[in-house]
Amino acid sequence: MTGSTAARVSFAESSALRHELAGVEVSATQVERAAETLGAEIAAEERRCAEKIGEGAPTMYLGMDGTGVPMRAAEVAGRTGKQPDGSAQTREAKLVTLWTAESRDEEGKPVRDPGSITYSAAIESAAASDPSPHRSEFAERVLREATRRGFPEAPRCVVLGDGATWIWNTAGELFPQAIQILDRFHAKEALHRSAQSIFGATREGKQWAATRCVELDDGNLHAIVHALRSPAAASSAEAAKCAMYIFPNRARMRYPKFHALGLCTSTGVLEAGCKVVIGTRLKRAGMHWTVNGANAIIALRCSKLSGRFEDFWERRSDRAAA
pLDDT tens readout for residues 131-170: 567 899 999 999 999 999 999 999 999 999 998 999 999 9
Q: How many helices (H) and strands (E) does the chain have?
A: 15, 7
Which stretch of 127-141, 158-172, 249-263, 271-285 has the lowest confidence by average pLDDT? 127-141
Q: Does 51 or 230 have the greater pLDDT score?
A: 230
Q: What is the DSSP string of 27-62?
A: -HHHHHHHHHHHHHHHHHHHHH-----S---SEEEE
In angstroms, rounded to a whole number, what is the distance separating the alpha carbons of residues 94 and 127? Answer: 12
The 3-class SS string of 220-285 reads: CHHHHHHHHCCHHHCCCHHHHHHHHHHHHHHHHHCHHHHHHCCCCCCCCHHHHHHHHHHHHHHCCC
What average pLDDT score do residues 68-89 get? 92
CA distance 256 to 284: 39
Give the residue with greater pLDDT, 54 vs 144. Answer: 144
Indicate the helix (H) or strand (E) that contains 170: helix 165-174
pLDDT at 259 over 70: yes
What was the pLDDT predicted at 132? 63
For 286-308, letters b (16+ CB in 10 Å) and e give eebbebebbbbbbbbbbbbbbeb
Mean pLDDT estimate for the chain: 92
In this prediction, residue 315 carries a pLDDT of 87
Beta bridge partner(s), residue 269: none
